[in-house]
Structure 1
Amino acid sequence: MTIRAIVRGVGHYLPDRVVPNSEFEATLDTTDAWIKARSGIERRHFAATGQTTSDLATRAAKDALSDAGMDGSDIDTIILATSTADLTFPSSATMVQRNIGNTTGYAFDIQAVCAGFVFALANANALIISGQAKRVLVIGAETFSRIMDWTDRGTCVLFGDGAGAMVLEAAQSADNPDDRGILATDLNSDGTYCDLLYVDGGVSTQNTGMLRMQGKEVFRHAVEKLASTATTALQKAGLGHEDVDWVVPHQANIRIIQSTAKKLGVPMERVVVTVQDHGNTSAASIPLALSVGVQRGQIKRGDLVVTEAIGGGLAWGAVVLRW
């Protein structure tokens, strides 16, 4: 027998403000058709004035806890993946901890941009299987609307705000691929590509900065690296592409999602797609898509799910889990 990290609940939250592609037509040389053709995005949500990343994260966390039949006091670890923390410090995770009434656990942020939730899941899994945590609340939350250059049509139309969360719990397992829980993880980064996707500011530069991206180069790396990391994670789990019930990818661009699925040999009918409604919500996109996939009735108990993501760094990775 061994210990596995089992999914007990999922949840998500989207800000009230919905921004259709047509809203950009008044200020940018773009159209709804242009945005949809190049990204698949039709709309996204933007946080309200004064609404912070921890606000979004708290709403998603409470939704996931409700789904798990738990409350904040049942959690011993909170990991929040974000690139848009409320403050330089303390971590936004500690603000969520306060908001859900958790006073006996520990909380921290993790930063791997769009791959953040995959990195957070891998860390949560390591804490659980090593016995350092029993119940972990893993959250991805972003307010990317705060770091957009609204004159750059190549980036500002792609991103949105939102949050998703998952409750993981330690459980005994016979250690075979049919048992529920996280089966394998694969994490990677290569800092030689850090100039492909970045924010041109930060604390030590004394400048908030805005998001900058070399879109064509990111696309080229994304398809190859996402397919590779998903394959590696499946191999670690002793499984193949034919065993996959659902791929839940980072929701950045429909063409990346389609191309990666093709390389994996997984039909689009087995890919959870939400990019049209949310845009790219960075670290929030996978937990958002997982929660929506459960709500839609797509992801069911016992399904084999593969998540994969790539973001600035470049950082990329995948997780294989039995739902």
Structure 2
Amino acid sequence: MPNNDNQHAADPRATTAERQLDATGNHRVLITGTGLYTPEHAVSNEALVASFNAWVAADNAANAEAIARGEREPRTESSAEFIVKASGIHSRYVLDAEGILDPERMRPRLPARDNDQPSVQCEMGVAAAREALAAAGVKAEELDLVIVACSNLERPYPAVAVELQAALEAGGYAFDMNVACSSATFGIETAANAIRSGSAQRVLMVNPEICSAHLNFRDRDSHFIFGDACTAVVLEAADVATRTDGFEVLGTRLVTRFSNAIRNNFGFLNRTAVLEDDVASATTLDSATHREQADDKLFIQEGRRVFREVCPMVAELITTHLGELEADGGDLDRMWLHQANRHMNDMIARRVLGRDPSSEEAPIILDRYANTSSAGSVIAFHLHHADLPAGSLGVLCSFGAGYSAGSVLLKRCG
């Protein structure tokens, strides 16, 4: 793994000297602004369960004879209590609630747009970006780079990032990237490296996550997991930043390890396959509509396996990263972790800190936002950083499919 840490201070809590280059001769990097777009529709566990259970009852009735003959098992209902116990999620925000809660549809209704209209992700990105730019005191035309990093892009090309760049009338260049739920931390490192090297001074990194569109709302084990949101982060070289109370990026660390435990097989090669193969795995109700949306073309995961394999990997990543800066878990004031599952966050924080975390040390936002993929850790940072005094040390960490994980160590300036 490449070394991308700024080793300008042995003690990450020490006051940073008023130089604009670190000890390795690279430009210092600051996060000076963040933004958040939240959809207006909120769906509670109770509403989601009512829709799911209505579909379960209808599907069991439609297949009553097969169930009676023992040819298939009856589907099992869900419950709000089950969802909270499994994940810690109580509700989620989505772009369209009506389509999701319709037992005969159970997917968001997002009409196709004309090519001359702004894309959905571009609109989300503009809203989050404008808030982040305002917080940083940066004009869009001052940007040198725009990165759109998320788990699912609504089209292969032209890049959503280039569309967003045009909508904002931003300068520089732009590109898309995808590392699933780790896209934000991978995007932050990409932005930070561009600034460190001098190829950019100001970078906008945006995470427009429409997770409800790739979620199988007819799968009891995962129908509750995701929500929609968009986050934005402005990163600047220290010598051009006007905000003095941002967060310095002390270092970044990334890791990937291949696994099929989290997967989504949707792609342009799907149309080349024999559609009859999809029919067999499609649901009985509305099978004609869903013949090209078989289960493996949506989000699938082996939840227990993910928990067992990812938690140790992430805890080790953070601990090792801290050690490279001559720090440890006891030096952390805040952990902005990926918001996928409450139990995973508690486990990781416990391993890093050596004790149970407080709600202030490891803030949770998934209770009301659910899993928003790469946006989750940035939402936690956006909503839970203002109280930290100068010199505070925190880690922003995301993890997910791949497996992939990213650690970003931050120190509050002042």
Q: TM-score, normalised by structure 1?
A: 0.92
Q: Distance in 2 between matches of 1:113 and 1:299?
A: 29
Show the counterpart of 1:142: 209
What is the CA-CA distance between 1:237 and the residue it aligns to? 2.4
Q: Which of 332, 337, 341 lines up with 1:253 in the alignment?
A: 341
Show the counterpart of 1:8: 32
Contact 1:54 1:85 in 2 (8 A): no
Q: Which of 389, 393, 400 lines up with 1:304 in the alignment?
A: 393
Higher mean C-alpha deviation, range 50-59 or range 61-70: 50-59
TM superposition outliers: structure 1 runs of 4+ over 6 Å:
none
Determine which structure has more spread, i.e. the larger CA radius of gyration. Answer: 2
Q: What is the count of residue pairs matched by the alignment?
A: 313
Higher mean C-alpha deviation, range 253-262 or range 203-212: 203-212
Alignment of 1:169-208 (within 5 A): 169-171=236-238, 180-191=247-258, 193=259, 195-206=260-271
Show the counterpart of 1:232: 320
1:170-215 deviation per Cα after TM superposition (whole angstroms, max 9, x unaligned) = 115xxxxxx9511111111112x1x110112212233672111111
1:298-323 deviation per Cα after TM superposition (whole angstroms, max 9, x unaligned) = 44543211011211111112110113
Compared CA separation, residues 65 and 223, structure 1 to 2 (3 A) = same
Q: Unmatched 5+ residue regions in structure 1? A: 173-178
In structure 2, what residue type is equivalent to 1:277?
R
SS in 1 for 2:223: coil
Q: Distance in 2 between matches of 1:271 and 1:254?
A: 10
Show the counterpart of 2:81: 33
Show the counterpart of 1:286: 377
Show the counterpart of 1:175: none
- Asked whether 1:61 is paired with 2:129, we answer yes
Show the counterpart of 1:120: 187
Q: Distance in 2 between matches of 1:54 and 1:237?
A: 37
Q: Distance in 2 between matches of 1:57 and 1:299?
A: 27
- Asked whether 1:45 is paired with 2:105, we answer no
Q: Distance in 1 between matches of 2:317 and 2:121?
A: 28
- Asked whether 1:322 is paired with 2:390, we answer no
What is the CA-CA distance between 1:81 and the residue it aligns to? 1.1
Q: Distance in 1 between matches of 2:176 and 2:331?
A: 33
Higher mean C-alpha deviation, range 90-99 or range 265-274: 265-274
SS in 2 for 1:150: coil
Compared CA separation, residues 288 and 180, structure 1 to 2 (3 A) = closer
Contact 1:140 1:285 in 2 (8 A): no
Show the counterpart of 1:24: 48
In structure 2, what residue type is equivalent to 1:46?
V
Q: Distance in 2 between matches of 1:185 and 1:129?
A: 12
Q: Distance in 1 between matches of 2:387 and 2:313?
A: 26
Compared CA separation, residues 300 and 203, structure 1 to 2 (3 A) = farther
Compared CA separation, residues 30 and 69, structure 1 to 2 (3 A) = same
SS in 2 for 1:113: coil
Alignment of 1:31-110 (within 5 A): 31-48=79-96, 49-50=110-111, 52-102=120-170, 104-110=171-177
Q: Which has the higher strand share?
A: 1
Q: TM-score, normalised by structure 2?
A: 0.72
What is the CA-CA distance between 1:71 and the residue it aligns to? 2.3
SS in 1 for 2:368: helix
Contact 2:381 2:396 in 1 (8 A): no
* Alignment RMSD (CA, Å): 1.9
1:143-170 deviation per Cα after TM superposition (whole angstroms, max 9, x unaligned) = 0111111110211201011011111101
1:45-102 deviation per Cα after TM superposition (whole angstroms, max 9, x unaligned) = 1114357222212211111011112221121111111122121211211121122111
Contact 1:24 1:31 in 2 (8 A): no
Q: Unmatched 5+ residue regions in structure 2? A: 1-20, 54-76, 97-109, 112-118, 240-245, 272-291
Q: Distance in 2 between matches of 1:300 and 1:101?
A: 35
Q: Distance in 2 between matches of 1:182 and 1:211?
A: 32
Percent same amino acid at aligned positions?
A: 28
Compared CA separation, residues 60 and 300, structure 1 to 2 (3 A) = farther
Contact 1:230 1:307 in 2 (8 A): no
SS in 1 for 2:269: helix
Compared CA separation, residues 54 and 300, structure 1 to 2 (3 A) = farther
1:21-55 deviation per Cα after TM superposition (whole angstroms, max 9, x unaligned) = 11122224211111111101011111143572222
